[in-house]
Amino acid sequence: MFDKLSYTTLLVLFIGLAPIYSQYDFSVDRIPDSLIQKANSVIRHSKTKIELDNEKLVYTFDYAITALNKKHENKLFFAEHYRKGESKVKDIQILIYDDQGDLVKKIKNKEIKEYGLQDLEFAHDLRSMIYMHSAPVFPVTIHVMYTHVVESPFYIPTWFPIQDFRQSVEQSSIEVIDHVGESFNYQQVGLGRPDLKTDHSVLYECKQLKVLTKETYMPNKAECFPRLEIALKRIKYFDHTGVVNNWSEFGVWTYNEMFLPKQDIDLITLKSETSSLIQETDDALTIAKKLYQFIQDQTRYVLISLEDGGWSPLPVSVVHDRKYGDCKALSFYYNSLCEAYGIDATLVLVNAGSNKRSAQSNFYSTAQFNHVISKLSIEGENYWVDCTSKVNPFNFLGDYTDDRNVLLITNEAGEISKTPSYKCIQETITGINLSENGNVDATINVRTEGIGIGDKLYQLDKMSVQEKKSYQKALVSKYVAPRINDYHNEFDTAQWAFQEEVSISCKDEVEHLGSHLKLKVNRGELDIPKIKRDKNRVWPIQFLRNKKFTSTTIIEHDLSLVPTIDEDVFIESEFGTYSFSTSASAGQIQIKREFQLYKGNYESDRYKEIKAFFDKLKKIEKRSLVLSSKS
């Protein structure tokens, strides 16, 4: 959506001003053993210098990274995005050193490729300068120096002294210099006090940082890694300027500067030209739903990022006439349609992504958002919609934008709010017909409710015929050589439920043990977390959502066999619940299993306790159904 997505995803590669490159010794032997251990790469030095004035931001970068092995060959990479007429990248030097610290190559300007990003769904004036080094042997070091001048001082990306897992740091620093005065705020996480602070500057330096290791069920690394977040008070975006100190002021400025001028078609006209969609008897909620369906059916997503289009939408008249726009344009158009019918609609800035990153209520910065959605207020109830989705039902956001702090923006204030969270429920009912020769015919019904429907609707809508076949095979992958006889699905819009039914036949599903038959019970219906053994857990454990999975297996047979009935189980803990029960009658056996996972964050010292709980459940899940002859 925003300009920040386009040209600064890789802007902060940490790293600043260096005098003469020959002063550095990049021999691998000089790296302390403590930084080599478990590392795939080492940041040898990294200096970022940022200078602010009224008219521009000047970034000066100088960094050197040693890739110790091929796993981090992707660190031997330079990429910088810029926008013609608004920013420029200059004075690029890229040098390659061997493991002895000897210079083996100086990259020529013609080897640094420049690209314009082109796509049918994108319209922008962004350019990229890229160099990727392919190393025949390792270790190898890349040393990069360059300057990036930005004519629109709008935001500064978060600075991380360490970039990735399995990467250590010898030295990394950032210095921010304000030539105007009172132009920025900042907050640090995990860095401590600044190494130098004056009325107009701040300096942070990190040395001898050991590797950080990725662990299962840890929070997002952007929330765990040490970092410095910077907020500009004096902002400029092309011809849009302002002074902003908090979320309320930013909300007003964004709405009045970026959105309101693009409302170039009167509401009476909008209502007149969409009146065929609406019946006189329709209430406000029905109208809002019909207008959302109109957006889904009649418009398409096209990212418009020309000039100030990173933050300012296309005019409403353009979206209305041409039926395309990006998230901010489609949302503003939808809100305008709603307002034409007297429905209160608010624009919402959000950090979209499945990791659920929230806006920080106590720290304003323009870099915290990458998407726009809409919130409606109808008769005291709130409704949320994402106008870029072609498949989401009305008032359903999905895991891309749900359950996180967002910013509501109006011409009166900016206000932190929170998007709704959704249940995550999956119910599987399996009917199995067991024949005398051990062959199995099964019908599996899977009902998905809540957050899971988003992936189902989006994926199936875009799948090719072959991809759909692969998807169906995955549903029954826990059976032995299943033959799929039939598959169909249905979406219940009112209940937000996605129903699937697949019928299969299997010849080798039953294991013959003399006069006994053994049938597997667990088909992966319960998504129980797999917790790896880890004696040195570092990160907290995070379960992002409450989840509930149920499985009912009904086995029909007319055999002279008696099932072995296992003892019923019910286990409850702080982390979730689990149950297993078996019942039998003439010709029928029923097995019920249920698992609930509780949303939560737990300190690392509870890892062993958490692992023990889920290991216990997985052990029970290994049960099989044994049928024995009556004699």
pLDDT at residue number 10: 35
Single pTM value for the model: 0.90
Q: What pLDDT sits at residue 1?
A: 44
Residue 14 pLDDT class (50, 70, 90 cuts)? very low
Give, as one character, the DSSP assignment of residue 256. Answer: I
Q: Write down the pLDDT at residue 79.
A: 93
* pLDDT tens-place string over residues 525-565: 999 999 999 889 999 999 999 999 999 999 998 777 788 88
Q: What average pLDDT does the segment 172-177 reach?
A: 97
Distance CA 270, CA 268 (A): 5
Give pLDDT tens digits for 594-615.
Answer: 999 999 999 999 999 999 999 9
Q: With contact defined as beta carbons under 8 Å apart, do 24 and 332 qualify?
A: no
pLDDT digits (tens, 9 = 90+) for 241-258: 999 999 999 999 999 999
Q: How far is CA 464 from CA 146, 274, 460, 490, in A?
A: 44, 34, 8, 18
Provide CB contacts within 8 A for 587, sequence distance 6+.
556, 557, 558
pLDDT of residue 631 exceeding 60? no
* For range 443-459, the mean pLDDT: 91
| Per-residue model confidence (pLDDT) at position 267 | 94
Q: Tell me which residue of 48, 247, 257 sits closest to 156, measured CA to CA.
A: 48
Q: Pick the closest to residue 156 from 310, 343, 367, 391 (CA basis).
A: 367
Q: What is the pLDDT of residues 56-98, one digit of tens each?
A: 999 999 999 999 999 999 999 999 988 877 889 999 999 999 9
Q: Are 59 and 177 in contact (CB under 8 A)?
A: no
Q: What is the mean pLDDT of residues 272-300?
A: 96
pLDDT over 90 for what percent of the chain? 76
